[in-house]
Amino acid sequence: MKINWTKYLYIFTILFFALGIFNITFAWLGFICMILPFVLLIRDKKKTWCQKYCPRASLLSAVYRGRKSKGRRTPEWLAKVDAKTFFLAYFGANLFILMMSTIMVFRGRIEAMDHVRFLIAFQLPWDIPQLINVPNIPDWAVHLSFRVYSMMFTTTVIGLILGWFYAPRTWCTICPINTLSDMGLKNQKEG
């Protein structure tokens, strides 16, 4: 019997958050989810990542699998350009803050962030444990790790909330990766 292993990709999402508890620098793995979709998009000229491999979408499908889907559709207001633009701007702002703050930590201008935040600014009321102590990790690397982990945490929580109220993969409608991929495909067709 052929196993459809793509059904189990959600394990990588769980693993990602679990590894952060061992050591936050595992959060650098999050860059795979930001870079690989576009590598595959350029190679295949279609959204291969979204259609087959995205571990976050797999998690959303797995969490809400078996739930009655009747009446649970993606709301129209979320499918509008404004909502997509808003989340794209949020993603851009996040990346900008991530880069600039990491540079400032590197240059010793600000302290490294050592906690997880929700929506860029809201610090979680608990610290995640660090079960493996890796010596000599530079502050900027720790800071970058917490920023990436926070980004992934925020979008996953929003995805789970949207999936609870609407269709499981409602997040995909406004996901910045999706919006950027659509823009890239449109440019390819026109170009």
The binding site for ligand SF4 (CB under 6 A) comprises 37, 49-50, 54, 56-57, 171-172, 175, 177-178
Question: How many other β-carbons are positioned within 10 Å of the β-carbon of residue 107?
Answer: 9
Closest distance to ligand SF4 from the beta carbon of 186 (Å): 16
Q: Nearer to ligand SF4 by C-beta: 102 or 181?
A: 181
Structure tokens at 112: 């490294």
Shortest reach from residue 49's CB to ligand SF4, in Å: 6
Instruction: Name the nearest CA neighbour of 122 among 157, 162, 166, 87.
Output: 157
User: Helical H runs in 23-138?
Assistant: 30-44, 48, 55-63, 76-79, 81-106
The secondary structure element, H or E, covering residue 118 is: strand 117-118
Measured from the CB atom, the residue of 47 and 147 that comes closer to ligand SF4 is 47
Between residues 167 and 177, which has the closer beta carbon with respect to ligand SF4? 177
Asked if 137 contacts 25 with a C-beta cutoff of 8 angstroms, the reply is yes
CB 64 within 8 A of CB 164: yes
* Minimum gap (Å) between residue 47 Cβ and ligand SF4: 7
Quick one: 105 or 166, whose CB is closer to ligand SF4? 166
DSSP 3-state percent helix, strand, coil across the chain (nearest 5): 70, 0, 30
Least distance in Å: CB of 141 to ligand SF4?
A: 25
CB of 167 to ligand SF4, least distance (A): 12
Closer to ligand SF4 by CB, 142 or 172: give it. Answer: 172
